[in-house]
Amino acid sequence: MAESETHHTLPAPRFDTPTRLLIVVAPYYKDIADQLVLGARTAIKAAGATHDLIEVPGALEVPSAIRLASRGGDFDGFVALGCVIRGETTHYETVCNDSSRGLMLLGLEGLCIGNGILTVENRRQAEVRAEAAGQNKGGGAAEAAMHLVALSRRFSPPTGDIGFKPATDTILIAGND
């Protein structure tokens, strides 16, 4: 069972330059969402970053909200949080697959996103995974986003003095001897 397994996790990133994340949460299961947010906030603070938080109605709206925020906000990364618990219909598969696919497509476009949308069979599984003092999937999603931010910064082209500069302060024009 997942409760007893251990996994290797990378050391949490730390930032000495300003880093701002947006947590986008679907609080359909409010108690579970609150634990996910608590874990994410704690991880972000520990890394020396800051965050904003917005809520959306459900997991399907999380990718759209991230896309909208990426166009107008000044965010380095995004943390997607929510919970989908299997019900009696195929709606579960639709919500799980489409929210995950939306986040993956945004990531492939270059956005730094940590996916903390839980997809579980029952409430107990969600509680175990969400608990900030337990499996802390909210904190893990925040750390994943921050690892991607760090990679993005590492692989970004240098900024600053790029382009052609004259070799001297004096520009010679042909014919003006």
DSSP tally for the chain: helices H, then strands E:
5, 4
Q: How far apart are CA 17 and CA 34, in angstroms?
A: 28
Q: Which residue is catalytic, options 8, 51, 91, 147?
A: 91
3-state secondary structure (DSSP) of residue 78: strand
The answer for residues whose C-beta is within 8 angstroms of residue 46's C-beta and 6 or more apart is: 12
Distance of CA 142 to the CA centre of its chain: 6
Report the SS3 class of residue 140.
helix
Report which of 109, 48, 110, 36 is spatially closest to residue 79, judged by C-alpha positions.
Answer: 36
91 is catalytic: yes
- Distance in angstroms (rounded) separating the CA atoms of residues 54 and 26: 9
For residue 22, list its beta bridge partners.
52, 78
User: Taking the alpha carbons of 128, 129, 132, 133 in that order, is the dihedral positive or negative?
Assistant: positive
Active-site residue numbers?
91
